[in-house]
Amino acid sequence: MTIWHKIILLYNSCAPNIKVATEEALIHNSIVEWFKVKGLIPKSKACPKCQMAMKFIEMQDSLDGFAWRCTTESKRCSLRDGTYLEKFRIDAPVNIPAFDKI
């Protein structure tokens, strides 16, 4: 089973009533942006402490390779916080070097 099939299975388990994504669509888009478009992760996030807009950053020590960071309070939140994906503790494929080439 390819990583793309695993992503499709994960997506279908999160949103079973929505049309299945195709490998071609996933190959041509970054998986993080695809998750944002599908509403599986937020497009923006407010800091839980100061309510200011958080910045989306790359974070190597994060499970996903990305996180939300408040520029005011220096608070960081997981990409998955407050989403259905928060329940999953599998490595997301967003930190695979091949995604840089897609």
| Cross-strand pairs, 67 | 57, 78
| Share above pLDDT 90 across residues of the chain, in percent, rounded to a whole number | 13
What are the phi and psi torsion angles at 13 (to 5°)?
-70, -25
Specify the long-range contacts of residues 92-98, CB closer than 8 Å, at least 24 apart. Answer: 92/31, 92/63, 92/64, 92/65, 93/3, 93/6, 93/7, 93/31, 94/30, 94/31, 94/32, 94/64, 94/65, 94/66, 95/60, 95/64, 95/65, 96/3
Q: Domain range spanning residue 2?
A: 1-40
- 33 and 50 both lie in a single domain: no
pTM: 0.57
Structural domains of the chain, count: 2
Domain-located, residue 93: no
* pLDDT one-digit tens code per residue, 52-90: 999 988 887 877 778 899 988 888 988 888 887 777 766
